[in-house]
Amino acid sequence: MEADYIIVGAGSAGCAMAWRLSEAGKSVIVVEHGGSDAGPFIQMPGALSYPMNMRRYDWGYQTEPEPHLDGRRLPVPRGKVIGGSSSINGMIYVRGHARDFDHWAEEGATGWSYADVLPYFKRLENWHDGGHGGDPSWRGTDGPLHVSRGSRVNPLTRAFVEAGRQAGYGVTGDYNGYRQEGFGPFDATIWKGGRWSAANAYLKPALKRPNCTLIRAMANRVVIENGRATGLEVTRKGRKEVLHARAEVILAASSLNSPKLLMLSGIGPAAHMAEHGIDVIADRPGVGANLQDHLELYIQQAATRPVSLFRYWNLLGKGYVGVRWLLNRTGPGASNQFESCGFIRSRAGIDYPDIQFHFLPIAVRYDGKAAAEGHGWQAHVGPMRSKSRGHVRLRSADPAAAPSIFFNYMSHPDDWEEFRTAIRLTREIFAQEAFAPYRGDEIQPGAEARSDDALDAFIRSHSESAYHPCGTCRMGRADDPRSVVDPECRVIGVKGLRVADSSIFPRITNGNLNAPSIMTGEKAADHILGRTPLPPSNAEPWIHPDWQHAQR
């Protein structure tokens, strides 16, 4: 088995690269350990809580005990299926804020400023605004990835945006366009009522070409000869074999598995690899370091009227939703139900939003358990730029062993202040007149949780990952010891090897990570092909004119 390029991982970035490289006439082998994405649990947006809790589609990873969260081990779902995590995620589409990418460039990721990446976001998108506003000149309309908006028929969905306006915040027609800050409609990777994953958008069309092949196998290590990656050792159908790359091996295996594969291949912190008996090829202390995530809480409010999705939270209701979706891809099952959102700044002196709200017109958890109180609503809220950093390490030299994942959540004192502020600002929004016709008691944290100590206790026991891990193969200058890849995604110290997925992010972006991960695959493909990058944009995004002195 031989090809010009071997891509490890059929996830968000890997699928995009497979499409672009094969489009350019290169031969590509995509290696994916997971299987098919067929079946209603993945393809039906309303069923999103199922695939991320199914061993068939998820690697089943957990964190090490997190010392600042009562020693809890948190689940870390990652897609083990074609499409990767874009096949099991919440389908929320957030590019990130312009300042996120400008920060990347300032950190040494030259050529990845907002002006540089905006053309790639536009290239990948096929945006459908659904009549909810926004300036189409900021968006792409003929890319492979369909991005749409929900119907927003639920009155709670509209009340949330109005409550944000009543609280003194701005309203934005498109947080992915000119203005992120404010309240407005959510974008989703949903098309014609179905999940539009990276597999549907990129991989399946690419596999119709004779020069693109998908192999189901477990990647064991990159084969490196005389300082150059020449292939990939895999276990397929119980047997070890080596796939040969004529040009390059590209890791797109996630921010957890890409650093693991580098370390198994002898690239990473020398002392750590030596502990596991792995020969050191390149001593890169940044491999597995700089692990980041978004942590969030569900602020839940009971509803006094039967307006929430709780009416479908029974056998009959779920049956109705499922049948209606199977028949014609309509009804509640055709939406991820995240149809309104907000991005705000926690205080004056911060130049762009550092708090995100996902609004949901039901009080429910990611594992699909509804609040016993019945009808209600919730906002998922948390700080966007935590200063805490963790790491990914090898548990053993056995490629089949799960990596050791330690986020070190809430280890920075600023995280606590930011989180308490996020809770209090959410309560203020829920207290606005727009929610008055529906507002019952607060379900959680609960009205009695007012003091800093009470809120801290709630954060320790109830915060959950938003499932946005990134940063473990940091992109930066080649002479920066923290860097793992250079600004063209080439692994520093080894020829013929790149990493292109969310692990290369120097710092986590605002919001959900699927969109910037796909953009990474799109932009990396041009670097791999030796093409001149798309010309930079001169579009100027909105920043609050008085951000130094005003919080809203």
Q: Identify the pLDDT of residue 9.
A: 98
Q: Is the pLDDT of residue 372 over 70?
A: no
Provide the mean pLDDT of the chain.
Answer: 96
Residue range 289-337, pLDDT digits in tens: 999 999 999 999 999 999 999 999 889 999 999 999 999 999 999 999 9
pTM tops 0.85: yes
Has residue 406 been placed in a domain? Answer: no
356, 369: one domain: yes
Q: Can you point out the beta strands (E) in 148-210?
A: 182-185, 190-191, 194-195
Cβ neighbour number for residue 162 with a 10 Å cutoff: 16
Q: Is 364 annotated as a binding residue?
A: no
**Interior/surface letters 490-527, b for 16+ CB within 10 angstroms, e for the rest:** bbbebebbbbbbbbbbbbbbbbbbbbbbbbbbbbbbbb
**Among 54, 511, 76, which residue's Cα sits nearest to residue 256?**
76
Q: What is the DSSP string of 434-477?
A: GGTTTEEEEEES-TT--SHHHHHHHHHHH-EE-S--B-TT-B--
Has residue 125 been placed in a domain? Answer: no
Residue range 244-270, pLDDT digits in tens: 999 999 999 999 999 999 999 999 999
321, 363: one domain: yes
Residue range 179-206, pLDDT digits in tens: 999 999 999 999 999 999 999 999 999 9
376, 481: one domain: no
Residue range 140-159, pLDDT digits in tens: 999 999 999 999 999 999 99
375, 441: one domain: yes
The mean pLDDT of 529-547, rounded to a whole number, is 98
Q: Is the pLDDT of residue 52 over 90?
A: no
Q: Identify the pLDDT of residue 95.
A: 98
Domain CATH for 160: 3.30.410.40
431, 371: one domain: yes
Peptide bond into 445 cis (omega under 30): yes
Q: Is the pLDDT of residue 370 over 70?
A: no
Has residue 515 been placed in a domain? Answer: yes
**Cα–Cα distance for residue pair 119/264, rounded to 1 Å:** 35
**Cα–Cα distance for residue pair 103/166, rounded to 1 Å:** 32
223, 303: one domain: no
The mean pLDDT of 195-221, rounded to a whole number, is 98
Residue range 9-24, pLDDT digits in tens: 999 999 999 999 999 9
Q: Identify the pLDDT of residue 49.
A: 85
Q: Are 352 and 195 in contact (CB under 8 A)?
A: no
Domain of residue 25: give its range. 2-36+206-291+471-529
278, 327: one domain: no
Chain centre to alpha carbon of residue 323: 30
Q: Are 16 and 527 in contact (CB under 8 A)?
A: no
Has residue 19 been placed in a domain? Answer: yes
Has residue 95 been placed in a domain? Answer: no
Between 54 and 72, the higher pLDDT residue: 72
Has residue 439 been placed in a domain? Answer: yes
**Cα–Cα distance for residue pair 359/176, rounded to 1 Å:** 17
Tokens 């290169």 sit on residue: 26
Q: Identify the pLDDT of residue 368.
A: 64
Q: Identify the pLDDT of residue 366.
A: 64
Chain centre to alpha carbon of residue 150: 20
211, 173: one domain: no
Has residue 130 been placed in a domain? Answer: no
Q: Is 358 a catalytic residue?
A: no
282, 418: one domain: no
CA distances to 274, 275, 379, 410 from 406, rounded to whole Å, are: 20, 18, 26, 12
156, 216: one domain: no
Has residue 549 been placed in a domain? Answer: no
159, 257: one domain: no
**Cα–Cα distance for residue pair 208/201, rounded to 1 Å:** 13
Active-site position among 468, 527, 544, 549: 468
299, 287: one domain: no
Number of domains in the chain: 2
Residue range 82-133, pLDDT digits in tens: 999 999 999 999 999 999 999 999 999 999 999 999 999 999 999 998 777 8
CA distances to 60, 75, 93 from 40, rounded to whole Å, are: 20, 23, 21
The mean pLDDT of 440-455, rounded to a whole number, is 96
Domain CATH for 263: 3.50.50.60
